[in-house]
Every structure is written in structure tokens, then in C-alpha cells.
Structure 1
Amino acid sequence: MTDPIWNAEFSACFDGCARGMRFTAYLLCGDWHEAEDLMQAAFLKLYLAGPRLARREGLEPYLRRIVVRTFLAERRRVRWRRERVTDAPPELPQDAVISEDKLVLWQALGTVPPRQRAVLVLRYWNDLSVEETAAALKCSTGNVKSQASRGLAALRQILGADFADLRLEV
């Protein structure tokens, strides 16, 4: 038997969060199809857990945590499937208008190790604080700071002089 109140809350959450979660998933994995799979898996996990949740407010951070953990778990599970840098830009949704700089940055982000990528996406795309990022990844704030620092250093090295003005603060 389904709970009609939970169904309504879940529908509202899906309507409000799906697009942002899909893009967060894309930034993590670099593939729109895989991003769809991550997003669907996360929403399914949320839907199944919903009736057992003690507090149902603040579902978006909980959902974001599920997306990131699902991504990281998949990367640990499939170690042999490494991302490869190619000359072709990533496929984009047809309605997207993306600057060339963003495409280059997203490609570079795809070469950063998954844990560092997760920290960079949560901190700088989702604009989470160090503490919120640590809570989402279930790690210390120091770990978030060091992963962000290493990830930013890797991005700066990959991007080179063309992006010397890249100023993201840790």
C-alpha cells in the first residue's frame, strides 16, 4: 500500500530537483546517459526510503548525497572502466547552449579522480559549504578541503595557461 502524502511529496521533489540532479550527475560522470541512470537510481532509492524517513523536509540535500554516493560506488565497483580523454566534446542535450570554455572545463573535470570530482561538483557547482560537502560525502571537513585543493590543482595543470585566471577558492 502506498502513502498518498509521500507520493505527493515525492512528486513535488522530483519536479523541483530532477533537472538539477541530472546536471550534477552529468558533471560527476561526464555522460548524459549515465547521468540519467544515476538520477533514476537516486530517485528510486529516495522513493523507497521515503516512508521510513523521520524527517521529510530537506529532501534535496539527501537526494544529492544519494547521487554522489551512487556515482562513487559505481566507480569503485567498475575499476576497469576508466574514462578516456578524447578530442570530441561530450554530448549535450539539444536545448543546451554551452560556451566553449565550459566544454573544455567539463572535459578537464572528467579527468580528475572521482572523489575529487565529487568534491569539486558539490562545492563549486552546487555551491555547498565545506561542512555540507563533508556531510554529503560522510567525511571530515579537512578531507573536503584537501580533495578540493588537489582537484583544483589538477584542473589548473590540465587546463594550462589558457585558464590561468581560473580562481576557485578552497
Structure 2
Amino acid sequence: MHTTGWEDEFREYVMARGPALLRAAHQLTGHPLDAEDLLQNALTKTYFAWDRIEDRKALDGYVRRAMVNINISQWRRRKLEEYPSDELPEAHEPHELCSDVHAALEQALQELPERMRAAIVLRYYEDMTEPEIARTLGISVGTVKSTVSRGMAKLRNALGLP
């Protein structure tokens, strides 16, 4: 099979950055299989836009933004298929070598509502500003501030921190 130079470049990018991008997708979705689907969809969008992306240093940002946008679209389309329960399913540690604190934080993140989790991930994992998060999630800056504040309080409580 003959591939073009940009297809080889795309393949090399995915092989080099795939694991880090998958971790970001997992933080957004809270579920490993959903994260794989999300990343695959974002990489498909990136593949079709590859020739228009001039700054190759901005590729991670492009893929992450695509993941956030796809994830938001899925929230808006999804019907209510999950119902609250007093019992939580058994948790699985995301990585064998994670510290107890990291595993507890990942679990606490997964238990947050989706928009709250996205706001926390964008703020503290992606280092986005509140106005950037507001634009990305389609909410006001005030809503970002209160959502992040309530989310951090829930995380502190879940981790037993003051």
C-alpha cells in the first residue's frame, strides 16, 4: 500500500501522542471505552483536516478541542438512559502503577456530573482560562466559576480533604 507523506506524518503523530490523548479523553468521559471512541472520532476529524493544520505544534490542542466539542455534542444528543442510584458500581483502577491518591482522584472525577467533570478537566488538566472554558462548554463565565467551585468542593469531600 502506498501512502502519502502526510499520511505517514499523521500515523507517526497518532503513535507518538495517542497514549497522552487517550488519557485526556478518559478524563473527559470517565470511562475507558467511551474515551477510546471519543479519541477515535477526534482523530478522524483531525485526519480530514490535516492538510489545513499549518502549525503542527498545535495538533494536541486541535485534537483536545475536537474531543471536548464531540463530548459536548454527545451530551446534548443523549437521552436520559441513566438513573440515579444509592449504590455505586465497583470501581476499577485506571492504571496499575497509579498512586492511591491518583486512583482516588480519578474515581472522584468519574463520579462528578459530566459538565462539572469537563469544567474541572479543562481548568486544571488543560489549563484553560474561565472564558475559554465558557466558550468551549457554551455557558457563562459565572457558571464556569460556580461549576468549578462546586466540583472542587465535591472532590475535596470525596478525598477527605479540608
Residue 120 in 1 paired to residue 120 in 2?
Answer: yes
Distance in 1 separating the partners of 2:16 and 2:145: 30
Distance in 1 separating the partners of 2:107 and 2:92: 7
Structure 1 partner of 2:28: 28
Taking the TM superposition and a 5 Å limit, the aligned residue runs for 1:78-157 are: 78-82=78-82, 86-90=88-92, 92-93=94-95, 96-130=96-130, 133-134=133-134, 136-137=136-137, 142-157=142-157
Structure 1 vs Structure 2 CA RMSD: 2.9
Shift of 1:124: 1.4
Matched-pair contact (CA < 8 Å) for 2:94–2:103: no
Q: Which moved more, 1:57-66 or 1:107-116?
A: 107-116
Matched-pair contact (CA < 8 Å) for 1:29–1:35: yes
Structure 2 partner of 1:168: none
Taking the TM superposition and a 5 Å limit, the aligned residue runs for 1:21-100 are: 21-51=21-51, 53=52, 55-57=54-56, 58-82=58-82, 86-90=88-92, 92-93=94-95, 96-100=96-100
Matched-pair contact (CA < 8 Å) for 2:130–2:141: yes
Structure 1 partner of 2:161: 163
Q: Which moved more, 1:127-136 or 1:112-121?
A: 127-136
TM-score (norm 1): 0.74
What amino acid is aligned across from residue 161 of structure 2 in structure 1? Answer: F
* Structure 2 residues without counterparts, runs of 5 or longer: none
Shift of 1:131: 5.4
Report the count of equivalent residues.
158
What secondary structure sits across from 2:122 in the alignment? helix
Shift of 1:6: 2.7
Distance in 2 separating the partners of 1:10 and 1:134: 30
- Moved >6 Å (runs of 4+): none
TM-score (norm 2): 0.77
1:29-52 deviation per Cα after TM superposition (whole angstroms, max 9, x unaligned): 22211111111111011101223x
